[in-house]
Each structure stands twice: as C-alpha cells, then as structure tokens.
Amino acid sequence: MDLDYSSEELAFRDEVRGWLRENLPADLRRKVESYGALSKDELLRWHRILADKGWIAPAWPIEWGGTSWNVVQRYIFEEECGYAAAPPLIPFGLAMCAPVLFKFGTEDQKKRFLPRIYRGDDFWCQGYSEPSSGSDLASLRTAAVRDGDRYVVNGQKTWTTLAHMADWIFCLVRTDSALDMKQEGISFLLIDMKTPGITVRPLRLMDGGHEVNEVFFDDVRVPAANLVFEEGKGWTVAKYLLGYERMNTGRIGASKRELERLKELAAREMKNGKPLLAVGGSGGPTIVTGVLQVMLDVLDFHLGPGVAVDLPRIHEQAAPETVIVEEKMPAQTTSALTQMGYRLRMVPMLGAVGALKTEPGKLKGAADARKGGTASGY
C-alpha cells in the first residue's frame, strides 16, 4: 500500500487548501476551533458557499451536481475541510437521504427533493430510534395507517439529532404489525416537520447543549406519495442507508487538527521543569506515547481494517517530534507518521537503541529512557 499522494493529488490538495483559505469565513472557523455551537443559519451559510462552488455533494452523480472526483480526491477534500476547521456538513440530507432517493426514489421524488437538498433549502433529520427501539431498531412501534391518499402516523422517536432545526425527517414506521418477522412491515416515509401533530422536545446533553430531541407524532397525516420504495420494504431501505451513515463518522481531518492542538499544549505546558510531552509517570508511558496511540488509532481508521499498526514497536523520545522505529515497521505506518510531522530514526531492532548517544535535546536511548521512568512500549 502506497500512502503517498501522486503529483496530481498533491496539486488537487493545494487547490482545495488554497480555496478554503480564501473562502472559509473567519467567524465560522473561529467558532469551530473554540467548540462553539453552530446555529442552523451558520451551518447553512457554509453549505451554500460550497454549493455555489459546486463542491457540496462530491459523491453525487454528475447529472445531479456531483464533482466526478475519485475516492482519493473526496478523501482529500473532507480531510482538508476538517483540518481547516470548516463547519461540518450535516449528513442527513446530503449523505443519507439523497443516496436513498438515488437508489429507491421515484423520478418525482428525486426532482422534488434532491435540488432542495443540494441548495440547502431543506434541512433534514433522521427518525429511527425510539424509547424501546435503539440497537433493536426492528422492534420500532411508531405506526403509519393508510387512509386514502395519506398515512396517519402516531408514535415517538428519540435521540433525534437536530430535529429542532429540521424542515423534514425521514422516518421508519410500522405499516403492518401482523407479520411474524419484525423486520417486515416497516416502511420508509418522508415527513414535513411543519405538519400539524408533530411536537419536538429537547433532550439536554450533559454539558447543557441542545443537539438531540424527542419527536412525537399525533395523528400526523403524510401524503402517500412520500413513501420511498414499497410499503413494508423499509427495512431494505434502512439497511442501505446505514451503510452511508457509517461513512460519516471518521472526521479524520478534524481529528488530526485536534491532535495537533494536543501536541502543542503538551509541548508548551511544563511539569518538573520539562514539557508534558516528555514527562512520564512512575514506570508508565510518557504523554507522547499516548498521543501516538491516539494518532495511530486515527491512522488505523484511515487505513481501514486489516492493516496492522503496532504501537509497541514505536518508542517515544525526549525530542517530541522524533520517534525511533524498527526498520521492519510497516511502510504504510512510517509513511503516515512522516505525513503527521514526525521525524523518524530507523534502527535494525530495538535492542540497538540503547547504544545511541544521548545528547541534550537529541534522541534518547531506550535504555536511558527506562532509567528515567518512561515506557519502551506496552
């Protein structure tokens, strides 16, 4: 596996980085960096800036506004946005409902909803979990009964992210409760949040923030034209959507930005006359080892399953930006560590590290590190 970008990919990265530098509003960047709560207007302001550029939905088909970028370019774009502290793109419309409509929606549904999702005219949320149906989602009880050209919906959803901002909700509902398998008889409805009978109540987080909600449906009348795919086949749609939902949790660029802040903090703050980055506990690992562990966790997510990342073969040193690694370290790991900004000192095997000369501000041998109370590995 070669993690190095090609010259074309590097040029693309520079283009994205330069555009972000010029077009990401400073007030939005500062708010993201300071962990401020973004309003709906602020989230949509950034959405529409990207839409005007044509970069809001890179993975969409070209005829619907996609960019035709390959998967590496899409990754670079997402990473650079996160690293630049751009506001997140709320995935419920762009990356969850839209793929469902491309796969299962009617032409009328595509023409009605997709352009509005692209422009940011409609803000979406997801109606899956219920008070008694979380991990066992198929046990959901919110009911939708057909009444002429409408469905009448009654029930409750919970932990509904950003429902208080949403214009629309895509919702799993039970349209047939008489079937033996609980995965059957579930349907996928698109519901206007302004419909009479919908009540949204906040669920306050531990820090007092308002992100998630309860949503109540009391005799909510939904046009039958808002049914996606077939009645009773919503579980098929739900499984397809969940594949896209999982792809929105990595946030590699934002994670790298936060890790850089952690490194800067640990290098600046002092304990016993030394930077925290170089201080270890009694026989325990130094902070740099912990930072490396988190970085490699991010790397492991970035590389995907099946790629070995072996932290015990990485040794922290007094110089925060330098690590000693064995020559047999996997190439993808050493390449990624270099991209993260670390200088690498390659040795044939860890036993040779103790013979390295120790000088002030230079690499510190593993044997000396042990005497100083730092860990040589886990």
Is 245 one of the annotated active-site residues of the chain? Answer: yes
Q: How far is CA 177 from CA 151, 173, 277, 355, in A?
A: 15, 10, 59, 73
Distances (CA, A) of 348 to 90, 351, 353, 368: 47, 8, 9, 18
By the 8 A CB rule, do 97 and 238 touch? no
Torsion of CA 145, 146, 148, 149, to 10 degrees: 110
Q: 65-78: string of b/e by CB count within 10 Å (b at 16+)?
A: bbbeeeeebebbbb
Q: Would you put residue 216 in left (φ > 0), alpha (ψ -120 to 50) or beta?
A: beta
CA–CA separation, 7 vs 131, rounded Å? 51
Q: Which of 245, 260, 269, 327 is catalytic?
A: 245
Question: CB–CB of 66/59 below 8 Å?
Answer: yes
* Residue whose token pair is 């509005």: 116
Say if strands 210-223 and 150-157 run parallel, antiparallel, or are unpaired: antiparallel
Locate tokens 């009479």: which residue?
196
CA dihedral angle for residue 294, residue 295, residue 300, residue 301, rounded to 10 degrees: 80
Residues sharing a CB contact under 8 Å with residue 74, sequence separation 6 or more, in sequence order:
58, 59
Contacts of 217 (CB under 8 A, 6+ apart): 142, 153, 154, 155, 156, 157, 191, 197, 198
Catalytic residue numbers, as ranges = 245
